[in-house]
Structure 1
Amino acid sequence: MCIESEAAISEKVAPESEVATSNRDTNGVVQLSYKDAINQLAEVNQDYTKVTKDNFLDFFILNKDASYDEKNGIVTLTKNRQDQVGNFTLKNKINLDYDFTLSGSVNLGSNSYGADGIGIAFHDGKTSDVGVSGGNLGIAGLENAFGFKLDSWYNSATRPNPNASTESNKFGWDKDPVRVPFGSFVTTTYKRPQGGRDNVWWAETEQKQGKDGYQTLNRNIYDGHFHDFLIDYNGNSHRMTITLKQQNNSLVWSQAVDVNNFSNKLAAFMMSGSTGGATNLQQFRINEFNYVAGQTAYVHYFDKTTGDELSVDEVTGQSGSTIEYTTSNIINNYENKGYILDSDEFIPGSVFDNDISVDQNYNVYLVHGIVPVNPEEPQEPGTPINPEDPDGPKWPEGSDKTALTADVNQTVHYQYADGTTAAADQTDAVHFTHQIHVDKVTGEVVQDDGWQAVDGDNVFDRKESPVITGYTPSQAHSDAITGLGHDSQDNEQTIVYTANQEQAQVTYIDDTTGETIGADQLTGAYGTSDDYRTADKITNYEHQGYEFVSDNYPADGVVYDQDGVIKQYEVHFVHGIVPVNPEEPQEPGTPINPEDPDGPKWPAGTDETSLTADVNQTVHYEYADGTTAAADQTDAVHFTHQIHVDKVTGEVVQDDGWQAVDGDNVFDRKESPVITGYTPSQAQSDAITGLGHDSQDNEQTIVYTANQEQDTPVNPGDSDNEDDKIEPDYPEIPDVTNVPTDEITTSTRKANQTPLNESIQEESETTVAENTVTDKPELPQTGVNDKADNAKTIGVSILTIFSVVLSLFSLVKKQKDTDKNN
């Protein structure tokens, strides 16, 4: 009831005789307090329900975090903790054709920056419905809600997010009008919000400021104390007025309610509070709640098979009016889900009674439908049991025909020892069937009639083995099998026919040594061929260094066609022999045969270094004082060595010895270079023949002696004319280039005569000695001591040259005599 003035209250309370009039003004008008007026209205109109702290729990249901202090009439919606949600709902609905008032006070907490606030809603849903918490304060999601909220936390618009972790964030919310605490009306509309996929009852807060929109709250209202709060509804104008008393003033909101949004003009009522990351203590203290309750009837649907309540429908209306309801649609829906109607207590045309203190209840009982499933009436597992309920229970595994039948089969095989067929199989089978009973509501198998053998036959009789000439069966008949069940394994028996066993032997022979290096014994049934082949063994022996010679074992395997005869076959090998030389050297100690790493190794002396040898010659050219007269001449004779290695034993089986490369095992004579003013001790180096790989390196030294010059009357230093210079007259030296090499070898010279170079060297040394022992002063230009010494020197030189000529003449004569004798 909207109490706008005391005069208005007086008019509604009249006639005077029916109301206590303890307080009157001078004009005789009854003066009543708000509480007195409501009490007298309730006494006049027996349809009014009066709720106080004492009977609060008779009319309201607390949900989630909400708690009630009955002594003080305080409902704590949320404690000062994070993520709290608490609410209470009115058990019946409010008749919007009548006035109602809810007086009390609210404690919004002590943190003006806390969250979230308190929400109030009148809606067309069930009395137990509560909307989405969080930023929506329990209002969003309620059908045709007319609500109001006291909000301390600013929320910007948030789109629905089906992947969010909380129900509030999944649903989303509308934007708040201001960023400070405020109070405002809120309504829900069935729509698809921006960014959403489905239609929902979307809550929208008034965005305009004023009594019919939002008004900001003083932050000092968050003082931890209770502040008066009144909801006043006028049943004639359908206007709701809300008053909140702050510390310094009161705020009043007022807006008309569209009663057409409420079935039978009956509204469910709830109050909710919530917190999130920010918190506040949020409470409501009831003074009185006076309203005319709508009548409510409940139709309960019970599963009689399980005893569970399936659902309940809430039907509201006025006392004495017909209960506009039918159970047929709901029953039909349950029947589509596999239920069968057992009984229905609701009678069409029933009316609401006049007792608002007791709800009217009707029960409808249903039982589960049960259906037999067998090979004659099989089903398809995984498909809907109830075609009208495609998302409901499915036919279980084992309801198809295959699963409801079972055959146990027998096969008796007749085979030779090698697995080939000796005679045709004999077969038999025992057949079983199965029946189950399926609950159409749950899809469960509720009864199993078990498996039954068709015609009661669950035995495999014995079966005689056929006769095959020349073979004996392992059994004269198959085994009898009794007591078979649907889950028995198939029976398989094999009767084996055995032929006589024959033999063969394959011998592997080393022809190099005459020894047997391996033998394989073969056996097989008569009339069969052996899959044994010699190829792998041959390859294995070849990997060990053998060379294959012959194999008389049949390429297609031995055929056992001679009873009692051991067939003999031989495979022959010889040792592989491999030459090793500088062109094909090896690495001692490594495997000869790569495929046989643990076999024989290459012996020492098979590397390239061991198979080559060089004998080197160096001819030095020096002056008598040992200094170099000309560059050395060098030469080398190269030798190679070849051996033959047994690849089986790793032994050297043949040594071809050492051979000079290109047959050249001689150091030829080498002409001594001409040096002006000097005479070599040898005109050419000695030839060296018959060299071997182990010969010592040859080294020769040819010494150059300075030629002696003659004195002349002319002083060489007195004239620059070349014609005035005296050249010494040397005797002609015979040509000895054609003298055979062996005539001038060192050994021959030692045996017959003094070598020319030695003679010359001796003479030269004598001359040098004589020249070096003088102590006479040296002439400044000629390098001689005096004329007497010069004459002596010339004489010695002439004698030396003459000796050389005689030696050469003797050699030439001896050569000619040799030629004549030959």
Structure 2
Amino acid sequence: MKFKTGIVLILSATTIGIDTSLITTSITADAQEEKSPTLSSNSVTQRTVTVYPSDFLTYFQRNGSAANFNYDIQNFVQTLTPNMKDQSGNVTLKTKVDMSQNFTLSGSINLGDKSSESGGADGVGFLFHPGNTDVVGVKGGAAGIGGVKGAFGFKLDTYYNYDGDPYFYPDPSEFSPGQAYGAFVNGTSGVAQTLEESAQPISQPSNNQFKPFKMSYDGTSKMMTVTYDGKIWQQDVSNLIGTNQSMAFSISASTGDNFNLQQLQLSNFQYTIAQGTVHANYLDENGQTLKATITTSGDIDTLYTTSQVTIPGYTFERVTGAAHIGTYQANAQDVNYIYKRNQDFATITYIDDTTGQVLTHKEITGATGESTNYTTKTDIATFLSEGYQYVSDNYPKAGVTFTNQPQNFEVHLMHKSIATTETKQVKEVIHYQYKNGKQALNNYVATPLTFTRTVTTDQVIGSKTYGDWMASSGTSFEKVTSPSLKNYTPDVPQVAAIDKVSGETKDIVKTVIYMKVPSAVKIPMDKDKVAPHNPSQPSESSKKGQTPSVPVTAQANKKELPDTGAKNGIAETILGVIVFLATAGWLKLRKNQE
């Protein structure tokens, strides 16, 4: 988007600095001597001045690109922007205008030699605002008005802006073909907005022609009237001025991609110089107001004086800003009296009665005689949420009133504990298995023994305290006889009773192994074979052998036993034992193989 160029008259209610990022030409000191106006009387009549062309440098300060061009003292012309891209220049009145009085500004304006369609821009604006005298608005479409809160003014606009930005709204659509126009501007919000009902077309810039321009203002009715190019504009600016009585004034112009030579020729400017204002502010070290500001006014360069005051609970420290005694200037001055608060204090100590330790230490301060809205409620609630329980405190429920003596308070808390019951069962199980680990009989499961105890948990640190186990169903298991199983015998005929079982006892698991009982095997004997003699010490297995069914009778009178069959019986017994042992060994081997 291209920036507009032009001259603008602006009235503003706030202070803003020049947007130097938009100025391509640096501000340079005037080669010509500029004098400040001199006043000596405080009457309105004596404060009313007339600025003639020869007085221009006495009353106006040149800035931006305007500072690069000397004031033409022969033709009384001040160049605001040269016929170049991206220029911004302005002149600011060194004193403020008293808006309760009338003023008249007359002269001529040169808007350049090109319309916007031919590459010309941007126009001239006139500004009034209550800020410092060196404050101007943003260049381009803002017409030197936008960017200054509370500003308002009048502009001769030679470039149409289709789009707005943070400093100005788009121009009225009726001028979209690029028609130059004049209008009042409301910039009180900081964004320049053309008052469409006041807008009227004007001739396009041509031949660098100077055209008469006049602005007059009625301090009573607040009506502002502008005459230019055969047109008249009138606007009630009372709502734009607000309560501001003194306002700074500037005339500005700028160029962008489009450009024009833009100049001002002053003929006469009659106005009443506003009195200077001094504000005596009474603040604490954080800039907060302790006492209402005292405002005084007086003629420029006359003496003012301010003084400190006594504020209970505070001690005066220093003065900042303007001196406490001085002279009134065009811009308002602030004398800041800084006070330090008398630091009376009270302490609140939060104590853990369970451990005896201090949980936290609060210190509150305030001026003597003041009260604090601090309560212990919030901090106590925080500790309760962390597992504490409230015990007591001596902090006043209505809060503390500070005195010149230290005050100390205590809040006592303790760890909250919760008691629960823990239950445990001790079980006894007996497994009945074969030697190979397979189940032989159903498990024996005794009725469990139940124990309970109390568990106390600290809600702050989570520690647990345990009581003793208490039996609910006895403390012993009875003896258990191993059940019989055909052809098998248990390795433990009876599992002994278990006494003194407690909650600390682990579950009891026993295993009983069942082994197969071997059966006797008969093997027929050959009668022709002679059985071996009985050993002098028979083995255990021979003792367990089957007893023969026919008794044997020995005959002592013969050397040899008669063939009664007794020898055969003995032999059969011996062979039976041998076969039994062999069979048992074979069975064991087979089981191992399985």
Normalising by the smaller structure, the TM-score range is: 0.3 to 0.5
User: Between Structure 1 and Structure 2, which shows a larger proportion of helix residues?
Assistant: 1
Larger radius of gyration: 1
* TM-score, normalised via structure 2 length: 0.40
